[in-house]
Amino acid sequence: MKTRTKLLGAVVLLSAGLPVAGTADTSDKRIALSNNYAGNSWRQAMLQSWDKVTKQAVADGVVAAADAFTTAENQATEQAAQIQNMILEGYDAIVLNAASPTALNGAVKEACDAGIVVVSFDGIVTEPCAYRIAVDFKEMGRMQVEYLAGRLPEGGNLLEIRGLAGVFVDDEISAGIHAGVEQFPQFKIVGSVHGDWAQDVAQKAVAGILPSLPDIVGVVTQGGDGYGAAQAIAAAGREMPIIIMGNRQDELKWWKEARDANGYETVSVSIAPGVSTLAFWVAQQVLDGQKVPQDLTVPFLQINQADLDAALATTPEGGVANVEYTLEDAKKVIAGAM
* pLDDT for 19: 37
Same domain, yes or no: 215 and 291 = no
Distance CA 244, CA 251 (A): 10
**pLDDT tens-digit readout, 80-119:** 999 999 999 999 999 999 999 999 999 999 999 999 999 9
Distance CA 129, CA 117 (A): 8
Same domain, yes or no: 75 and 37 = yes
Compute φ and ψ for 73, nearest 5 degrees: -125, 155
Given a contact cutoff of 8 angstroms between Cβ atoms, the answer to whether 195 and 174 are in contact is no
Establish if 11 belongs to a structural domain.
Answer: no
Cα-based distances in Å from 192 to 19, 188, 225, 323? 52, 11, 13, 30
Distance CA 47, CA 54 (A): 10
Establish if 91 belongs to a structural domain.
Answer: yes
Q: What is the pTM of this model?
A: 0.82
Establish if 19 belongs to a structural domain.
Answer: no
Given a contact cutoff of 8 angstroms between Cβ atoms, the answer to whether 244 and 219 are in contact is yes
**pLDDT tens-digit readout, 281-303:** 999 999 999 999 999 999 889 99
CATH code of the domain in which 106 resides: 3.40.50.2300
Of 10-14, 262-266, 306-310, give the lowest mean pLDDT range: 10-14
- On the question of pLDDT at 6 being above 70, the answer is no
Cβ-based neighbour number of residue 27 at 10 Å: 14
Q: What is the mean pLDDT of residues 123-146?
A: 95
- Of the pLDDT bands very low, low, confident and very high (cuts 50, 70, 90), residue 73 is confident
Residue of 229, 264, 267 whose CA lies nearest to 245: 267
Which residues constitute the domain of residue 174? 137-270
Given a contact cutoff of 8 angstroms between Cβ atoms, the answer to whether 71 and 82 are in contact is yes
Secondary structure of the chain: what % helix, strand, coil (to 5)? Answer: 45, 15, 40
- Of the pLDDT bands very low, low, confident and very high (cuts 50, 70, 90), residue 10 is very low
Distance CA 181, CA 71 (A): 36
Same domain, yes or no: 127 and 166 = no
Count H helices, E strands: the chain?
Answer: 11, 12
Establish if 2 belongs to a structural domain.
Answer: no
Residue 167 DSSP class: -
Question: How many CA within 13 A on the CB side of residue 234?
Answer: 10
Residue 152 DSSP class: -
The total number of structural domains that make up the chain = 2
Distance CA 43, CA 25 (A): 31
Establish if 15 belongs to a structural domain.
Answer: no
Establish if 70 belongs to a structural domain.
Answer: yes
